[in-house]
Chains A and B, each alone.
Chain A
Amino acid sequence: MIYNEAPQNSSIGYILFQYDLYPEKIEQFGKVKKVISRKGTFALKESTMTTEQANWFSHVMRRLEKLNYNQIIPIIPTKYGDLTISHKNRTYYLQPWFSEEDQIREEQKETTLFKQLGKLHGVTVKPQEFSKETIENSCQDLLKRWEKRRLEMEYFAEEAERKTYISPFELTYLTHYSRMDMMANVAVTYLKEWRDQCLEKESYRACLCHGKLDRNHIFYHPNGYGYLFNFERAVLDTPARDLAISFRRSFQYNLWSEDQGSDWLATYENHILLEEEEKKLFASYLMYPEIIFHCIDHYRKRDGSITELQYVQVLEKRIITMSRVDHFIHNTLLRKNSDECK
């Protein structure tokens, strides 16, 4: 019999009842509740996924299980077999609580991450039914978005130039603006090359993409393996995009080097080789200076929480990263490609 003995939060009671969990202690860590019970310690995640998204999320997790991809932190089903619970416009799911993280070396973290990403893409990749419209539309959508962003940045540059006293941040941006603009143009060229090659080959591939994988979404187990989690934004998409997202997100942890990029790509490609046109798309995503533009967005909305000097440091670090990305693309990614062609 279930009595309402501890109903300070009836929502939690409603959710944990469906797992037959009677907590001894609950601790809050952001959107995650650590639930300590006789059954064990669990992580209850609260998410903003809609019912439709939650259904897709459940489908993804079940599919990965079916494919025997077990490098993920499992979702514990309710006693009724559901992987998620929808309650008051929120979605909840339960996972085992892991706390014993291995003392993994910093540089090793991304290697493990790209290994797992490669495996994930490798087991789920599938050629898609060719549709000219899909290729054309996705290319045009991206071109439009990029052009809009580029114009915003051009406007920011023009505004800065008109000022009598230019701030150090603006000066740094203006110094590198023409190179960033050129990189945006090169990204567009690669994107168009991807489109043309796809249309010529009349094929393209899609795989299950995590959508936001970086070291915050991987658990480094003492056994040396990395276990992925947070598949809330998982989608079926080209592997190039997901790889580019993880590359970009990984740039932030240290001053990234070209050699590291080569290692990451090689680790990834041990599990799935990128097609020639996918490399072009990957290159275009990386080459487009979104991380610089993103920094400008932050600067425009600055609230004094970080100083001008810190903004300049962040921007400079990102500009160096973009230079290295440029080298990585031409010296490693696409060079390997052209060497192979020879």
Chain B
Amino acid sequence: MDILRQVRMKYGLSDLKWIKENETFRSEYGSKRVRFWKDKQLLEWHVKWRDEISKQSGVLLDRMIRTEDGNPFFYCDKGWVTIHDEIEEPFPLARKEEDWGRLIGTILAVGLKQLDECHRLKKRKDLTLKAVHGGLKNDHDPMAKLVLERSYFEAKSRVRKAHILRDRIHPIKLPILTSLTRLTNAKQVFFHFFWVCGADEPVRSYKPIRNLLEEWFEKNGEASTIKLLNEINRYFTLKGDQGRLLLSECLLPYEYESAINELSTCNQSVDITTTVMDKFFQRWETSRNVVLLLSNWMEEDREKVVAK
């Protein structure tokens, strides 16, 4: 049966018309998005997670709209189906640290309390620098190869520091998070923050926060990032073990791995190599700045205490 017909029956919506087939449609109550889920357990985790985050933070999320029977999804031959609001108006980043901090802080607080009841956690591969470094081949651009060879020692040192930091903390408890990287997922409804969560598998790691901080830093600069950290800290303390775990994550040289992987898969043209290396330099610099900023921010209070 046609999905729209089923939506009409299950949700009591009318005047339905596809904007983009099997993705978005128009209804009498605005545009909606349809999502198909193959994994029921992952879907149930997303329903619960969104409801909890939205209730605790007061931020609107693309929660599952309930059917007329009150269910958050229904089943069809393509799997489980959920309906969400489709909002287009973007939410600003500038001077909105308070709203963002509330959302991220709540996500972290809820994420840390989560039990491992979702068995669909994305498997995280540990960064094995030696293997990554082994990917550097002689047919790579000599300049790029030289830069990456030299960066290897610094990358190794970063991994070592990250491990030292992490190993000091017992027991290590990391929050369960979903992807937060696309800042463009922030929309607004009547001047209120509306976050589009997507349908990614959750991961037990600080990586999504690291990615977000780096993107935030690049777009908004140092002062705004500090403000954001202060706001997050109001809802979830980052000036302790959890902050150190975040710092440890920020130290890991993923950009080094990405650069070698990209060089290995691209066709070695000069243009592409330049693009890959430019991106590498930029990401390396950003992650260096974020690590510096984060460690200074964490030390701030300690310094104040010492100064007194």
Chain A residue contacts of B87, Cβ below 8 A: 1-2
- Residue in B85, B89, B190 whose beta carbon sits within 8 Å of that of A13 in the complex: B190
Are B66 and A10 in touch, CB under 8 angstroms? Answer: no
Q: Tell me which residues across on chain A come within 8 A of B65, comparing CB atoms.
A: 79-80
Q: Are B192 and A77 in contact (CB under 8 A)?
A: no
Whether A14 touches B85, Cβ cut-off 8 Å, given contacts A77-B70, A80-B66, A87-B58, is: no
**Chain B CB within 8 A of A82 CB:** yes
Measured in the bound complex, the distance between the Cα atoms of B103 and A87 in whole Å is 15
CB closest chain-B residue, reference A17 = B189
Distance from B91 Cβ to chain A, minimum over Cβ atoms (Å): 12
- Is A81 in contact with B30, judged by CB distance below 8 angstroms? no
* Interface assignment of B86: CB less than 8 Å from any CB of chain A: yes
Is the CB–CB distance between A14 and B189 below 8 Å?
yes
* Chain B residues within an 8 Å CB radius of A29: none
Contact with A along B71-104 (1 / 0, CB 8 A): 0100000000000011111000000000000000
Most buried by A among B64, B89, B190, B192: B190
> Is there an interface contact between A13 and B189, defined as CB atoms closer than 8 Å?
yes
In the bound complex, how far is the Cα of B67 from the Cα of A77, in angstroms? 11
Asked whether A2 lies within 8 Å of B58 as measured between CB atoms, the reply is: no
Contacts of A22 in B (CB 8 A): 29
Question: Does A4 lie at the interface of the complex (its beta carbon under 8 Å from any beta carbon of B)?
Answer: yes
Also in contact, A82 and B190, with CB within 8 A (given A1-B30, A20-B29, A20-B30): no
Which of chain B's residues have a CB closer than 8 A to the CB of A1? 30-31, 86-88
In this complex, the member of B66, B189, B191 whose beta carbon has the largest number of chain A beta carbons within 10 angstroms is B189
Residues of B within 8 A of A79 (CB): 65-66
Alpha-carbon gap, A53 to B28, bound state (A): 34
Q: Mark B27-59, 1 if CB is under 8 A from A, else 0.
A: 011110000000000000000000100110010
Q: Is A86 an interface residue (CB 8 A)?
A: yes
Question: Is there a chain B Cβ closer than 8 Å to A7's Cβ?
Answer: yes
> B-facing mask of A42-82, CB < 8 A → 1, else 0?
00000000000000000000000000000000000101111
Chain B residue at smallest Cβ distance from A54: B55
A2 touches B70 (CB 8 A): no
Query: Quick check: is B166 within 8 A (CB to CB) of the other chain?
Result: no
For B83, the closest partner residue in chain A by CB is A79
Given contact pairs A14-B190, A14-B192, A80 touches B54 in the complex (Cβ within 8 A): yes
When distances are taken between beta carbons in the complex, the residues of chain B under 8 Å from A81 are: 51, 66, 70, 72
Report the separation of the CA atoms of residues A3 and B191 in the bound assembly, to the nearest whole angstrom: 10
* CB pair A4 B66 closer than 8 Å: no
Q: Are A17 and B66 in contact (CB under 8 A)?
A: no
Q: How far is the CA of A13 from the CA of B190 in the complex (A)?
A: 6
Mark A186-226 against chain B: 1 for CB-CB distance below 8 A, else 0: 00000000000000000000000000000000000000000
Contact between chains at A86 and B86 (CB < 8 Å): no
Within 8 A of B (CB), among A5-47: 7, 10, 13-14, 17-18, 20, 22, 38
Interface residues on B, range: 20 to 34
Chain B residue at minimal CB-CB distance from A12: B190
Instruction: Give chain A nearest CB distance to B12 CB in angstroms.
Output: 10
Structural contact, B66 and A2, CB atoms closer than 8 A: no
Find chain B residues with CB under 8 A from A18 CB. 60
A2 CB contacts on chain B under 8 angstroms = 30, 85, 87, 89, 189-190
Q: Which of B63, B64, B70, B72 is packed against the most chain A CB atoms within 10 Å?
A: B63
Q: What chain A residues lie within 8 Å of B190 (beta carbons)?
A: 2, 4, 7, 10, 13-14, 17
Most B CB within 10 A of own CB, among A7, A14, A18: A14
Q: Specify the chain B residue showing the minimal Cβ separation from A14.
A: B192
List A contacts of B191 (CB < 8 A): 4, 7, 10, 13
Query: With the chains together, A13 CA to B30 CA distance in Å?
Result: 14
Residues of A within 8 A of B88 (CB): 1
Q: Residue among A10, A38, A77 with the most chain B CB within 10 A?
A: A10
Asked whether, in the complex, the Cβ of A10 is within 8 Å of the Cβ of B70, the reply is no
Set of chain A residues within 8 Å of B54, measured between Cβ atoms: 80
Contact of B55 among A7, A13, A14, A82 (CB under 8 A): A82
Residues of A within 8 Å of B31, CB to CB, are 1
Chain B: minimal CB distance from A116 (Å): 26
Q: Determine whether the beta carbon of A4 is less than 8 Å from that of B192.
A: no
**A-side contacts of B60, CB under 8 Å:** 14, 17-18
What's the Cα separation between A79 and B63 when bound, in Å?
A: 9
The complex places the Cα of A79 from the Cα of B189 at a distance, in Å, of: 15
In the complex formed, the residue of B with least CB distance to A6 is: B190
Residues in chain A near residue B86, CB distance under 8 A: 1
Q: Is the CB of B64 within 8 A of A80?
A: yes
Closest-CB distance, B109 to chain A (whole angstroms): 15
Contacting residues, chain B, for A82 (C-beta < 8 A): 55
In the complex, the answer to whether B89 meets A4 with C-beta atoms within 8 Å is yes
Q: How far is the CA of A14 from the CA of B59 in the complex (A)?
A: 10
**Residue of B at shortest CB range from A86?**
B58
Chain A residues within 8 Å of B64, by CB: 80
Q: What 10 pairs between A and B have smallest CB-CB spacing? A: A13-B190, A20-B29, A81-B66, A10-B191, A80-B63, A1-B31, A10-B190, A14-B192, A79-B65, A7-B190
A-B contact pairs, 15 of them (CB 8 A): A1-B30, A1-B31, A1-B88, A2-B189, A2-B190, A3-B89, A4-B188, A4-B191, A7-B190, A14-B192, A17-B60, A20-B29, A20-B30, A79-B66, A81-B66
Q: A7-B191, A81-B70 are in contact. List 12 more A-B contacts (CB 8 A).
A: A2-B87, A2-B89, A3-B89, A4-B188, A10-B191, A14-B190, A17-B60, A79-B65, A80-B51, A80-B54, A81-B66, A82-B55
